[in-house]
Structure 1
Amino acid sequence: MTEKVAVIGAGSWGSMLAYILHQNGNDVRLYARNLDQVNEFNQEHTNTRYLKDFTFPEEMKATNSLEEALDGVDNVLFIVPSQVTRSVAKQVNSILAEQKLQPYLIHGSKGLEKGSFKRISQVLEEEISAANRKSISVISGPSQAEGVAKQDPTLITVASEDMKSAEHFQKLFMNDYFRVYTNNDIIGVEIGGALKNIIALGAGALYGLGYGDNAKAALMTRGVAEISRLGVSFGANPQTFTGLSGMGDIIVTATSSDSRNWRAGYQLGKGKKLDDIVSDMGMVIEGIATSEAVFDLAKERGVEMPITNAIHSVLNDDETVQTAIAKLMTREGRSEIG
């Protein structure tokens, strides 16, 4: 059965998820705010700013009209930067109310809202009336868009408090190279997906400094430990952090040069200034804003997160990466468990 899906956000991951949904036989409307990007997509069938050397099917269309994208939809996928999700959701809510629609909602954004520290599903719940939605789900896991474009076998998870909704999206997205699992721990899946970007920044910085596999393994393993501590403090299932949206996502993001967070960290390790990195990247580096939110959140909740604190110091206090590493390595000894 063909379903109508609005994909809000045409970055690398948004446009690739739209492609998967199209391949699976759905009626997909891809929304991008930038008219030049929309024109390129519709005329050249490319999205070169985000995905080089990939051509989309001619039948796929983009629009810069939210009203057109949402017209008669059954499902809405949000995949915009976390710091603009609230403003976009408000617009979507107004249009859904006007059109008297109640679609399934899902998001693939990986971050926390700065200031409020809220997860994206919480933002959507606040801004989109229950009368204008069936449910809220999240899609997350180890999935670089560039790898999916090559049909590299990819495994991800869809989480929702409503398992029927998770199963709905499982069927919508799954195909022979994109396997989807379900999970009812939306808190853990969102926290894992957001905080892995902080670890990716650190991994890139280590590589930029010339450190090898030992350091990388240490960072990822202890990174999972502190992410799990924070997640459990909110009621997340600790097993989630050893799964696809936890350790799985950290592995791919902290080891791949396709990750913009890894690339930003690599340049930090090479001594480049943060402002120059952000300017040159031309794309949102979610780990930067997330590190600020998590630094404050960890202090508020009394959760020890030394790696996050170290990366926050590098990003905000002009501490060198070398100094941050030295402080981490010379911390007082303690037990690994507990």
Structure 2
Amino acid sequence: MQNQKERAPASSGVSSGLDSSGLSQQALSVRPYQHIAVVGGGAWGTALAVVAARAGRDVRLWMRNAEQAAEMAETRTNKRYLGELPLPRGIRPMTDLAEALDGVEAVLLVTPSVTIREMAGRIGELAAPGVPIFVCAKGIEAGSGLLMSAVVEEAAPGRAIGTVTGPTFATETAAGHPTAVTVACTSGAQTPHHSRAAVRMALALTTGSFRPYVSDDMAGVEVGGAVKNVIAIACGILAGAGFGDNSRAAIITRGLDEMKELAVRLGGRRETVTGLGGLGDLILTCSSRQSRNFSYGFQRGQGIGDDAVFDGRPVVVEGRHNAVTVTDLARKLGLEMPICEMVRAITADGQPIAIAFANYWAGPIRGEPRALDMEFDHPAVEAVTRHFEDKFQ
């Protein structure tokens, strides 16, 4: 990849060494991964497989369900997750993990966060030494308080560990809507750009519609991915109750501040959280019913009980799990994350929504930014309580 000193003038075009895809000849000298295994055949795993195949890569897609894999091989669709969208021929669905990992150069691990430790251990045993694992699940492990990359590092030691994250809905990505992501990796932070696994994966996934950016701040991008689901539930609740854009903007902005503080405590950078893997993902997840977390919150805000959301179907809502693991970690670190605590009180502790929101909204008045060290009691606590009780009856 070119740095600013090496970048060709904008007016130079193809004559400066840019090919028709827009990649410089220097970037093309960095060899992208050609043989990639995607472990996990859900919506996002299949979408990433589609992207890689469109980029010309050889893609093996490992799936737990043999019937689903056989159907995909026959129909070239993943009807359960992506409907009738035709899948590229370069994707080979399979259920034998050893076969899926044989000879690959990199692995995209796209299973639910609660399965990451198990799957990373299996990959570590089966994949060739040196094959990096890009974990694409978002969250913090219960009990250990570890980010997903740290879980993979424990389960499959000695490998480069990365992630692909950002503001993405799987259906739009697979359909070819212009999409930007961050590809981050822990390896090679002190080495030239061309030797980083993140750059190789970024180049391997670049297509006409899919644009990666590269980062070496795994903590920053992972915290964004873990916390944004929790904030999305809060935004969904407000929207479901009939509150408008003012309310959502406030929760997004203050939620972003909580993300920044946690990222810094874990060794990340605040500016990373304002990028695609943080703010970008946060805005998307907090603004659309396509998000399971926002949709869950929306239904709760409408007065639907926890057991009745999604018509009682067992839909995975990562933010409910994340609300507990994020706040457990924050408490351990002595960090205040009031929005995440509010969501935890509602989803895990069974606190009435009106009380939880009133407690948050009537919290002490503080300075913004935090460097303005000031705090005083809210002067209208009773009015706040009445306001939310009237709305969430």
Which TM-score bucket, shorter chain as reference?
Answer: over 0.9
| Distance in 2 (alpha carbons) for counterparts of 1:302 and 1:5 | 41
Within 5 Å, which residues of 2 pair with 1:4-83? 4-83=35-114
Match of residue 282 from structure 2: 250
Matching residue within 300, 313, 334 for 2:332: 300
Q: Does 1:139 align with 2:164?
A: yes
Matching residue within 142, 146, 151 for 2:176: 151
Q: Deviations over 1:122-152 (max 9, x none)?
A: 111111131xx3x111111111112213322
Q: CA contact under 8 A between 1:205 and 1:269: conserved in structure 2? A: yes
SS in 1 for 2:340: helix
| Distance in 1 (alpha carbons) for counterparts of 2:344 and 2:356 | 10
| Distance in 1 (alpha carbons) for counterparts of 2:235 and 2:313 | 18
| Distance in 2 (alpha carbons) for counterparts of 1:101 and 1:45 | 32
Q: CA contact under 8 A between 1:278 and 1:285: conserved in structure 2? A: no
| Distance in 1 (alpha carbons) for counterparts of 2:289 and 2:175 | 16
Match of residue 116 from structure 1: 144
| Distance in 1 (alpha carbons) for counterparts of 2:157 and 2:358 | 49
Report the residue type matching 1:253 in the other structure: T
Are the structure 2 counterparts of residues 59 and 28 from structure 1 closer, same or farther at C-alpha, using a change threshold of 3 Å? Answer: closer
SS in 1 for 2:81: coil
Q: TM-score, normalised by structure 1?
A: 0.94
Q: TM-score, normalised by structure 2?
A: 0.81
Q: Deviations over 1:156-196 (max 9, x none)?
A: 11112325111111111112211111111111111111111
| Distance in 2 (alpha carbons) for counterparts of 1:104 and 1:184 | 14
| Distance in 2 (alpha carbons) for counterparts of 1:120 and 1:138 | 9
Give the gaps of 5 or more residues in structure 1.
none
SS in 2 for 1:28: strand
| Distance in 1 (alpha carbons) for counterparts of 2:96 and 2:185 | 28
Aligned residues: 332
Match of residue 25 from structure 2: none
SS in 2 for 1:50: helix
Task: Out of 208-217 and 255-264, give the one that drifted further.
Answer: 255-264
| Distance in 1 (alpha carbons) for counterparts of 2:39 and 2:304 | 33
Q: CA contact under 8 A between 1:42 and 1:58: conserved in structure 2? A: no
| Distance in 2 (alpha carbons) for counterparts of 1:92 and 1:279 | 36
Q: CA contact under 8 A between 1:33 and 1:64: conserved in structure 2? A: yes
SS in 2 for 1:49: helix
Q: CA contact under 8 A between 2:226 and 2:326: conserved in structure 1? A: no
Give the gaps of 5 or more residues in structure 2.
1-30, 190-195, 371-393
Task: Out of 144-153 and 229-238, give the one that drifted further.
Answer: 144-153
Once the 2 structures are TM-superposed, how far is the Cα of residue 154 of structure 1 from its aligned partner?
A: 1.0
Q: Which has the higher contact order (CA 8 A, sep 6+)?
A: 1
Report the residue type matching 1:155 in the other structure: A
Q: Does 1:173 align with 2:205?
A: yes
Report the residue type matching 1:160 in the other structure: C
Matching residue within 225, 228, 232 for 2:257: 225
Are the structure 2 counterparts of residues 323 and 49 from structure 1 closer, same or farther at C-alpha, using a change threshold of 3 Å? Answer: farther
* Structure 1 vs Structure 2 CA RMSD: 1.6
